Structure 1
Amino acid sequence: MSSTTSLVDSPPMPAEGVRLKPSFDAGRLLRELTSLREHTWDQQRVYTEDGVGAATEVDWRCLALRSPGGDADRTDPGGPGPRDFEETVWLDRIPYVRDVLDSIPAPLHAVRFMALGPDTVGMDHTDPKYGPRWGVGRLHVPVATNPGAVLVLDGVEHRWQPGEFWFGDFSRTHRVQNTGTEHRVHLVVDVLVTPGLAALFPETWQEYFRHGEVLFNRQECPQTADERRRLATRFPVPATFHLWEDDTPLSADAPQETATLAEEGDRMTLRLPGDRVFALVHLGDNEYRLSGWSEERTLQVFPDGPEPRVVLRTREGSQVHELTVTAERLAA
């Protein structure tokens, strides 16, 4: 069984980007950045359903401050997988940046210093589902820039300045370019959208957050070991369900594969064929999102009754798509 619910006539996002509150100490940010520049940063890499992908072909380098498992060598933005986002060793050396991150009232995912080299122009691209419609935000704090450093976002040129705090809807077409002679460096912070994060936006955006197509994420809700164990099940899922950037509708008629939900350590994991493992985050009422992603897709277990059920959901703003499947209990 599948179903869809949605609302209409919601206010649009007011602009492609907006400056947030507060501002930060540009001098302190630059001093801490300088303390990390003796280390040669690695080229930025992409992240796909197959894992860490190819490096960028232009001079665009990163230093990871938060990454999956706290891996300091990860320059990609990460995504759903077996490990949560954690701090890397570099964050211990920059206490003011840690204060900046601690001030953001939302769960943090990837955090990177991203340096665009002189005389470098990136290609036009989009970051699928990196926007409030899918519960994800990308924030920027410029640290070092020059007049030739420009972000072109949805056709609009932006020249953000050191210490400012910005949101951009990077699900729209954009590119970065630096025709200057110095590096352009930003602190780039990926977050889950929450009411606390919305409060950092100007008043002109509050109607959008109240009534627009925004997906707010719930806080993690701890479970006991006994609560987790009774949910161990096996069930069919569409073969594209774990592909967080995919837009294929949930359907019982789509190709299926067998998923296993089980306790591993102190949390639940979703296992798919081919040794693909996804840590899960409990949101309450036996509903889980994929760790490293938002509530854009979740699964909810109903273990009682003659046949356990699992409800799979994908969300985009107020739109919710559901698919209910029959599950099989696993032996304790």
Structure 2
Amino acid sequence: MHANPRKTKAVRFLGPVDLGGVRDEILAIPEEIWARENATKPNKFGALDQTQHIIFRFVSSFEDWRQSYETPLWPEWKSRIEPLLAQATRPYGYANGAFPRVMLAKMPPNGIIHPHVDANPAARWPHKIHIPILTNPGVAFYVEPDTYHFEVGQAYEVNNLGRHAVRNGGTTPRIHLIFEYYDVDQ
């Protein structure tokens, strides 16, 4: 399967996203919910190390991005998260966009995501987008060959097919809203 030719080759800045009150709601998620949701996550890859996830939507198979499912938490969060997704993806101009994966990722202080490439076929076509919810100056996002610092309330597409990694060298967690997006008509 070929990769989407419209995917970024490094990092693409997509612009500001008005987080409104949803940022405070995400920051208020109790640790027991993070732990419970992380224990059942489908993305248990060694490269993710100690990063916790709350999954809202996920692909039904790592072989195909076109089929996905919603978790029980999605109906509770959908009306708050969908406006963020719409703002972040506006620059693409897709009339019929879809979001196969939507999740929160929390990396602890001194946490790492080891260098890796998203190798499963379901990751080859959708754009991989990050919206930082909480960060600190010690967080470095590496997308070969450069290192970036992503700011809260900004959206970024990352090249998930290139070697990438993250290090939280700060004293606070890093929380990102991470999702995938593709044009159903393409």
TM-score category (smaller protein)? 0.7 to 0.9
> Unaligned stretches of 5+ in structure 2?
none
What is the alpha-carbon distance in structure 2 between the residues aligned to residue 61 and residue 32 of structure 1?
Answer: 17
Q: Does 1:92 align with 2:92?
A: no
**1:139-218 superposed matches below 5 A:** 139-192=129-182, 194=183, 218=185
Change (3 A) 1:148 1:43: farther
Count of residue pairs the alignment pairs up: 170
> CA 1:119 to 1:189, structure 2 compared with 1: closer, same or farther past 3 Å?
same
Q: Structure 2 matches for 1:302-317, cutoff 5 A?
A: none
The equivalent residue for 2:10 is 16
- Seq. identity, %: 18
**Structure 1 residue 101 and structure 2 residue 112: aligned?**
no
1:89 is displaced (CA, Å) by 2.7
Secondary structure at the aligned position of 1:92 is classed as helix
Aligned partner letter, 1:31: D
User: What is the Cα deviation at residue 92 of structure 1?
Assistant: 3.1
Match of 2:51 among 48, 60, 63: 60
DSSP-derived class of the 2:171 partner: coil
**CA-atom RMSD in angstroms:** 3.3
Q: So what's the TM-score if we normalise by structure 2?
A: 0.75
Q: Is the 8 A contact 1:145 1:161 kept in 2?
A: yes
Quick check: 1:130–1:136 contact (8 Å CA) kept in 2? no
Q: Residue type matched to 1:17 in 2? A: V
Q: Is the alpha carbon distance of 1:157 and 1:44 closer, same or farther for their aligned partners in structure 2, counting shifts above 3 Å?
A: farther
Q: Counterpart in 2 of 1:113?
A: 104
Partners of 2:56 and 2:103 within 8 A in 1: yes
Q: Per the alignment, do residues 44 and 138 of structure 1 end up closer, same or farther by CA in structure 2, a change over 3 Å counting?
A: farther
**Whole-angstrom CA distance in 1 between matches of 2:85 and 2:8:** 25
Q: Letter of the aligned partner of 1:116 in structure 2? A: M
Question: 2:63 aligns to what?
Answer: 80
Query: Counterparts of 1:279-298 in structure 2 under 5 Å?
Result: none
Would you say 1:34 and 2:27 are equivalent positions? yes
Does the 8 A contact of 1:44 with 1:56 survive in 2?
no
Q: Cα distance, 1:99 vs. partner?
A: 1.9
Q: AA paired with 2:76?
A: R
Distance 1:150 1:44 in 2: 27
Q: Which is helix-richer, 1 or 2?
A: 2
Taking structure 1 as reference, are residues 109 and 120 closer, same or farther at Cα in structure 2, changes over 3 Å only? Answer: same
Distance in 1 separating the partners of 2:150 and 2:121: 20
Name the CA distance, whole Å, in 1 between partners of 2:6 and 2:127: 16
Q: Do the aligned partners of 1:29 and 1:163 also contact (CA within 8 Å) in 2?
A: no
Q: How far apart, in 2, do the equivalents of 1:185 and 1:60 lie? A: 9
Please say which structure displays the higher CA radius of gyration. Answer: 1
**Structure 1 176/44 Cα, relative in aligned 2: closer, same or farther at 3 Å?**
farther
CA separation in 2, counterparts of 1:12 and 1:66?
23
**What SS is found at the alignment partner of 2:84?**
helix
1:15 Cα deviation after fit: 5.1
Return the offset for 1:59: 1.5
TM-score (norm 1): 0.44
| Cα deviation, residue 67, structure 1 | 2.1
- Structure 1, gaps ≥5 residues long: 1-10, 48-52, 70-77, 195-216, 220-332
In structure 2, how many angstroms separate the alpha carbons of the residues matched to 1:54 and 1:170?
Answer: 14
Q: Distance in 1 between matches of 2:48 and 2:17?
A: 32
**Pairwise CA distance, 1:29:** 3.4
Aligned-pair CA distance for 1:85: 1.5
CA contact (8 A) 2:135 2:151 kept: yes
What is the CA distance between 1:119 and its match in structure 2? 0.9
1:262 corresponds in structure 2 to none
Structure ranking higher on relative contact order (CA contacts 8 Å, 6+ apart): 2
Q: Measure how far apart 1:178 and its partner are.
A: 0.3
Would the alpha carbon gap of residues 84 and 13 (structure 1) be closer, same or farther in structure 2, given more than 3 Å must change? closer
Aligned partner letter, 2:145: G
1:25 corresponds to 2:18: yes
Q: How does 1:269-280 map to 2 (within 5 A)?
A: none
